A and B are shown apart, each in its own frame.
Chain A
Amino acid sequence: MTLTSSVSLERSLASSTGKSFLAEGKASIRGRGLKGCLNAKLLKGESSREEVESEMSYLLPTVTTKEGIDELILNTIDSVLVLRVGRATDTVCLHLDDVLAKAAREVSKFAKIALIDVDSEEIQAYLKYFDITLIPATLFFFNAEHMKMDSGTPDHTKWIGAFHRKQDFIDVVETIYRGAMKGKLIVTCPLPPERIPKFQLLYKEI
């Protein structure tokens, strides 16, 4: 488990569980405030857009070990766990991180979001198991069960690519949550086809 600083963790906690954070009476860096912060940065011209977006990955906890992922999956109960597998330097990944960070607070009542660094050696078991060849790939879990989604792409086991906007992600997570609460292990994607990233996979039989 590596986090850049304790501040970033606090930020992430603030963005995800804003209520409890406020209750503890610490400095309030809430989702909107944070966004405003970033916008202010942009306006001032202190940093380029990319730099600002690269901070998105620090708004959410990043996991780099297998034990960390195990624990996340086994400790998330009755809510959806969203794991983004990717690289913080990748452009599409940055976009996805941005969407996730913005949506984290809104889905915090029924979902948890964490990022997984694809370059970490320790998580290769997960990459192998989930057969991840394209990044960013987003995995969904519910009560330690892997949730699938039929989005009309060749792969039902994960969402590949970024979400076009925040609401898309929220819709998807909500659909998964509702499906899981009804006992469904696979749900149908609520998004229209034009907002689903296109990709091709070549499978080989094993």
Chain B
Amino acid sequence: MPTQHQFCRVCRQNHDQGKGHRFGTKHKQRLDALLKKIQKNVQEVRFFLKNAMLLKANSDSSSNKFWCHFCEQEIREESGRVACEQTIRHLASKQHFGAVKKFWFENGGDVSKQQVFFITDSDFGKWEEACTALPSHDGTDSNERKFNNIHSERSVTHATSVQNVSKSSVVCASSSLAVKPLSVLTGQSLPQLGHVIGNVKLAAAVTGQPWAEGQLMDPQFAPREGTNSGSLVGNRHAHSGQVAEPRYLPTAQAPVSNLSETESGHQRLNGVVENRRSDGVTASGRQTEGAVGQNLTAIRTPLLNSGEGNVHSGALPPWLKPSNGQQSGLQAAIAHSPSPSLPLSRTQQRKLAKLRNPNRVGAAWAERRLAEMERERRGEVVEKSVPDSSVWLPSFGRVWQSGSRRETRKEFEAEKRREGKRKSSGRSKDVASGAVEIRPYVSKRLVNFWFKLCWITYYKLISLA
């Protein structure tokens, strides 16, 4: 029996599945997404339910609308004196309550979430009380009516501080309902030790108490993630978007009470830093400016000259830079030798080589260096291989010449192997560099074309003859 088609408000589509539709996975997903969206809007309104506020007299409240998805109607804030007055009244109405119940009946979902979407009578009563209290404290002058943000929460009940707060605190536009509370406390001050490093102001925030007690802050990484527990928020990296310029937010007490927390933070932040580096967002490196450690001695490192890099910026390490060629015989004795006391036989060496992972760190260099050291031991004069020389760079082949690509690859690999052997056997290097013959690229198609043309002319000539 064909069932009647129904329209699902959540999925915005017609279906003939009857009541079974609301148990579908897609419907559930869409319902969740929709409820989340509505909940976000309702939360904003709830903020004004808790903090009843007066609107500015000249504020443009007509742009302030609220779409109620359950009742399918738009609520406009036109004649409202208090922020979100109409919306709050709507959410508390019996009609809305019924609509929410109906929505749940039609679309299923978690019943415990229902109460988020309407306002209970007790909450509404409190709000009304607060509203009646407002005008008597605010005075008669309509020009003095200010729309305050959360800072004025207390001031609503204290008549004397209303004007002070409205003057000193930030006055936000009435149309913006999305006021986020500050995530960092701004109440108390903290002994600070400020450094101005480059264009960033950093706090070393040493509180004089032992670190083990949790008085640990992370001034360095704080600007990289704005909502971190650090005492500093910078606009360069702050994600919260609340702060306009780099400044201190003196954290009330040491924000981190648990060392492991800090460490996880570090890890996370380090990850961020490394990601950035790999992304190339912060291409430039960094250098330690100051360091504090538990019982650790700090030393002064020479400053980097311009153009010089360090381990953070990935510069060429010092052991790859050419030195004046002084050799200290003692080092050779200390250094780990591949065959320490008893010389290994060929088969033993081969067995050991098989055990070594060919993909280990610096494998190719290690093999070459081993061969070199072997020759050094025999007393030959060897030019040391440095990992960054041009030969070290991987080569992936060359332009295809003739035959199949597989053949070209095989040929190239064979050449490479031969070259490697020649080098390890200690012959001169420049022979190897000239070994690869460079030929101009000739298109296969072109060759074929000329070949065919020749044949055609040949046959024509024959036929003519």
Binding site for B on A (CB under 8 A): 1, 3, 9, 12-13, 17, 19-20, 23-24, 61, 63, 65-79, 81, 87, 90-93, 112, 114, 118, 124-136, 142-147, 150, 152-154, 156-157, 160-161, 180-185, 193-194, 196-206
Contact = CB atoms under 8 A, between A and B. Distances in A.
Contact of A70 (B274, B282, B318, B356): B318
B286 A1 contact: no
Contacts, number: 256
Nearest to B356: A78
B464 interface: no
Nearest to B320: A144
Most buried by A among B284, B292, B331, B363: B331
A196 B286 CA distance: 23
A161 B294 contact: yes
B361 A184 contact: yes
A142 B357 contact: no
Nearest to A3: B330
A72 B324 CA distance: 16
B426 to A, nearest CB: 18
Contacts of A63: 331
Contacts of A194: 259
B311 A129 contact: yes
Interface in B163-220: 195, 197-198, 200, 202, 204, 211, 216-220
A69 B195 CA distance: 35
Given A127-B302, A193-B260, A198-B211, A185 B361 contact: yes
Interface stretch (B62-70, B79-87, B151-159, B365-373): B365-373
Interface stretch (B6-14, B264-272, B343-351): B264-272
Given A134-B293, A152-B263, A161-B294, A77 B373 contact: yes
B289 interface: yes
Contacts of A93: 297
13 contacts: A70-B318, A74-B384, A77-B370, A90-B297, A127-B301, A128-B302, A133-B290, A134-B299, A152-B266, A193-B259, A197-B293, A199-B296, A201-B288
Contacts of B219: 200, 202
Given A74-B369, A132-B301, A153-B266, A202 B195 contact: yes
Contacts of A160: 293, 296
Interface stretch (B102-110, B130-138, B243-251, B333-341): B333-341
A181 B296 contact: no
Task: Please name the 3 residue pairs, one residue from A and one from B, whose CB atoms are nearest each other, closest first.
Answer: A143-B362, A199-B293, A75-B335
Contacts of A3: 330
A20 B338 CA distance: 13
B404 interface: no
Contact of A202 (B220, B294, B330): B220
Contacts of B200: 204
A103 to B, nearest CB: 16
A71 B211 contact: no
A79 B336 contact: yes
Chain B interface SS verdict (over half): loop
Interface in B377-403: 384, 387
B2 interface: no
Contacts of A71: 327-328, 331-332, 335
A145 B296 contact: no
Given A73-B319, A74-B319, A144-B320, 20 more contacts: A9-B333, A63-B331, A75-B337, A76-B335, A77-B369, A79-B336, A129-B317, A131-B301, A132-B299, A133-B291, A152-B263, A154-B221, A160-B296, A161-B295, A183-B360, A184-B361, A196-B263, A198-B293, A203-B289, A204-B286
A129 B285 CA distance: 12
A154 B340 contact: no
B304 to A, nearest CB: 6
B277 to A, nearest CB: 11
B418 to A, nearest CB: 24
Contact of B285 (A125, A135, A206): A206
Nearest to B294: A198
Given A129-B310, A146-B311, A197-B294, A75 B332 contact: yes
B291 A201 contact: yes
Interface residues on B, range: 35 or more
Contacts of A114: 334
Given A70-B323, A71-B332, A77 B290 contact: no
B298 interface: yes
Contacts of B299: 118, 127, 132-135
B267 A152 contact: yes
Given A67-B323, A133-B301, A181-B360, A205 B198 contact: yes
Contacts of B295: 91-92, 161
Contact of A180 (B309, B340, B361, B369): B361
Contact of A133 (B266, B288, B308): B288
Given A19-B341, A135-B299, A201-B288, A181 B357 contact: yes
B315 interface: yes
B211 A131 contact: no
A131 B300 CA distance: 10
B317 to A, nearest CB: 6
Contacts of B323: 66-67, 70
Interface in B206-246: 211, 216-221
B310 A131 contact: yes
Contacts of A204: 197-198, 200, 286-289
Contacts of B216: 198, 200
Nearest to A81: B336
B326 interface: yes
Contact of A134 (B195, B296, B320): B296
A64 B290 CA distance: 25
Contact of A78 (B218, B287, B338, B342): B338
Contacts of B315: 129
A93 to B, nearest CB: 8
Nearest to B340: A20
Contacts of A193: 259-260, 263
